[in-house]
Amino acid sequence: MAGFPIPYSLYRSFWCGLDLLFPPVCGGCGRSGSRWCDGCQRNVVSLAEPLCEVCGIQTDTPGLCADCQRARPRFSALRSWSAFDAPVRPALHRLKYRRDLGLGDALAAQLSGFVAALKWPVDCIVPVPLGQKRLQERGYNQVALIARPLAMAMKIDFEADALRRVRETRSQVGLTKLERRENVREAFQSKSKRVINRTILLMDDVATTGSTLSSCAEALYAAGARDVFALTVSRALKRHGLDSA
Q: For the CA atoms of 45, 50, 51, 52, what is the dihedral angle to 10 degrees?
A: -170
Judged against a pLDDT cut of 90, whether residue 241 lies above it is answered with no
pLDDT band at 152 (very low <50, low <70, confident <90, very high): very high
User: Residues 192-203: what's their mean pLDDT?
Assistant: 96
Per-residue pLDDT reduced to its tens digit, 12-65: 788 788 777 888 999 999 999 999 999 999 999 999 999 999 999 999 999 999
Mean pLDDT over all residues of the chain?
90
User: Residues 151-157: what's their mean pLDDT?
Assistant: 95
Provide the pLDDT for residue 245. Answer: 41
Judged against a pLDDT cut of 90, whether residue 155 lies above it is answered with yes
Say how far apart CA 192 and CA 32 lie, in whole Å: 45
Provide the pLDDT for residue 180. Answer: 75
Who contacts 236 (Cβ-Cβ below 8 Å, separation ≥6)?
84, 206, 207, 208, 242, 244
Side by side, which strands form the sheet with 77-83?
77-83, 227-235, 199-207, 124-127, 157-158
Quick check: helix, strand or coil at residue 78?
strand
What's the first-to-final CA gap in the chain, in angstroms? 43
CATH architecture designation of domain 47-240 = 3-Layer(aba) Sandwich (3.40)
CB-facing half-sphere around the CA of 154: CA atoms within 13 A: 27
Provide the pLDDT for residue 122. Answer: 98
Residue 234, Cα to own-chain centre: how many angstroms? 7
Who contacts 115 (Cβ-Cβ below 8 Å, separation ≥6)?
150, 154, 201, 231
Secondary structure of the chain as H, E, C letters: CCCCCHHHHHHHHHHHHHHHHCCCECCCCCCECCCCCHHHHHCCCCCCCCEECCCCCECCCCECCHHHHHCCCCCCEEEEEEECCCCHHHHHHHHHHCCCCCHHHHHHHHHHHHHHHHCCCCCEEEECCCCHHHHHHHCCCHHHHHHHHHHHHHCCEECCCCEEECCCCCCCCCCCHHHHHHHCCCCEEECHHHHCCCEEEEEEEEECCCHHHHHHHHHHHHCCCCEEEEEEEEECCHHHCCCCC
Judged against a pLDDT cut of 60, whether residue 190 lies above it is answered with yes
Provide the pLDDT for residue 195. Answer: 96
